[in-house]
């Protein structure tokens, strides 16, 4: 009998200990903050900046667990945010604009009403690059040639459509249209299976640098007059001479702003911390990719296509950008 009573006491103590342990585990799980950073292809600019952001957030936000997800970039990122499958994402401004409208042709089945803004970051330069041996030097020269326009319904492909429309062209004018990520497009050009690629990214994108060191290229101009036909959020800019090996002169092109976007389900405190850490770690981001050198807190609210997240608003009020 006594043995039975002792055993029962031990069992009760074990159950109590297990309950306390489970409670602490649950509390720990609840305290952990999961931040999934949605980027783009690994050969683009979004990915290295996303890796740097994830590291910054993992070190700077208490109990944060971070992850970097390589995606097809803008359009996929925004749809993932709406579904609650990411906490912060990179996206082109025109894609955010179309997502807020719910433009089905742009890849958004309905208005993505949960999207919230964090910051405008750096401009994406629309870079059309062809192998020198293809003979492509102008947009008109692309007629009858093969061109990769980015993944289907990606932010890059939306840019391609806009540029072609402004130039009075369509994909039907091409000899062949490929819908491929940056790195795959470059490999096809290297193998003489593709004439040109259109890539929407920060200056000095790794994929084009890789191509330029492998063979002679032509950086194709997008004239200011064509960019003006598209209008906002597109602006006319120049790719500075020397950006890529063999590029000896400035080249006119179009640019569209990039944004960091979150969703309404992310807590105010988390978004506040993400915004603050973004601007207090710009040297680290610039070390990850030179495109980040263009990030400026004074320009963080320019052209924001969606409402700001309250957490981001709090930060901008602290630094005097908002009253």
Q: Extract long-range pairs of 162-171: CB within 8 Å, 24+ residues apart.
A: 162/94, 162/230, 162/234, 163/126, 163/128, 163/139, 163/198, 163/222, 163/226, 163/230, 163/254, 165/230, 166/226, 166/227, 166/229, 166/230, 167/139, 167/140, 167/222, 167/226, 169/139, 169/140, 169/142, 169/143
Residue 72 lies in a domain: yes
Domain span at residue 156? Answer: 124-256
Residue 17 lies in a domain: no
Residue 207 lies in a domain: yes
Question: 71 and 183, same structural domain?
Answer: no
Question: 251 and 147, same structural domain?
Answer: yes
Residue 278 lies in a domain: yes
User: Residues 92-117: pLDDT tens digits?
Assistant: 999 999 999 999 989 999 999 999 99
User: Residues 263-288: pLDDT tens digits?
Assistant: 999 999 999 999 999 999 999 999 99
- 261: tokens are 């976007």
**Where among 231, 256, 281 does a domain terminate?**
256
Which of 22-31, 120-129, 227-236 has the lowest average pLDDT?
22-31
Kindly write down the DSSP assignment for every residue of 1-58, as one continuous string: -HHHHHHHHHHHHHHHHHHHHHHHHHHHHHH-EEEEEE---TTSSHHHHHHHHHHHHH
Q: How many independent structural domains does the chain possess?
A: 2
Residue 138 lies in a domain: yes
pLDDT at residue 11, rounded to an integer: 42
**Where among 207, 229, 256 does a domain terminate?**
256
């Amino acid at each position: 009998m006594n043995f039975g009573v002792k055993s029962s006491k031990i069992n009760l103590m074990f159950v109590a200990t297990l309950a306390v342990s489970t409670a602490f585990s649950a509390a720990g799980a609840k305290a952990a903050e999961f931040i999934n950073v949605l980027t783009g292809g690994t050969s683009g600019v979004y990915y290295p900046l996303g890796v740097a952001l994830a590291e910054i957030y993992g070190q700077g936000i208490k109990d944060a667990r971070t992850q970097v997800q390589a995606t097809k970039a803008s359009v996929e990122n925004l749809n993932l945010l709406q579904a609650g499958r990411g906490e912060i994402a990179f996206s082109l401004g025109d894609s955010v604009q179309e997502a807020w409208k719910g433009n089905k042709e742009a890849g958004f089945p309905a208005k993505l009403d949960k999207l919230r803004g964090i910051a405008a970051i750096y401009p994406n330069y629309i870079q059309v690059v062809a192998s020198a041996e293809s003979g492509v030097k102008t947009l008109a020269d692309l007629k009858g040639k093969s061109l990769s326009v980015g993944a289907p319904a990606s932010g890059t492909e939306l840019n391609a459509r806009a540029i072609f429309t402004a130039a009075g062209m369509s994909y039907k004018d091409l000899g062949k249209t490929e819908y491929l990520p940056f790195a795959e497009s470059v490999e096809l050009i290297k193998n003489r299976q593709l004439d040109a690629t259109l890539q929407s990214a920060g200056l000095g994108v790794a994929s084009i640098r890789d191509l330029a060191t492998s063979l002679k290229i032509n950086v194709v101009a997008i004239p200011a007059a064509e960019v003006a036909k598209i209008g906002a959020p597109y602006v006319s800019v120049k790719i500075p001479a020397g950006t890529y090996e063999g590029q000896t002169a400035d080249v006119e092109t179009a640019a569209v702003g990039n944004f960091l976007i979150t969703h309404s389900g992310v807590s105010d405190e988390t978004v506040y911390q993400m915004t603050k850490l973004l601007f207090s770690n710009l040297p680290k981001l610039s070390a990850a990719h030179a495109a980040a050198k263009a990030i400026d807190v004074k320009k963080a609210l320019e052209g924001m296509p969606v409402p700001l997240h309250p957490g981001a608003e709090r930060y901008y009020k602290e630094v005097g950008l908002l009253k």
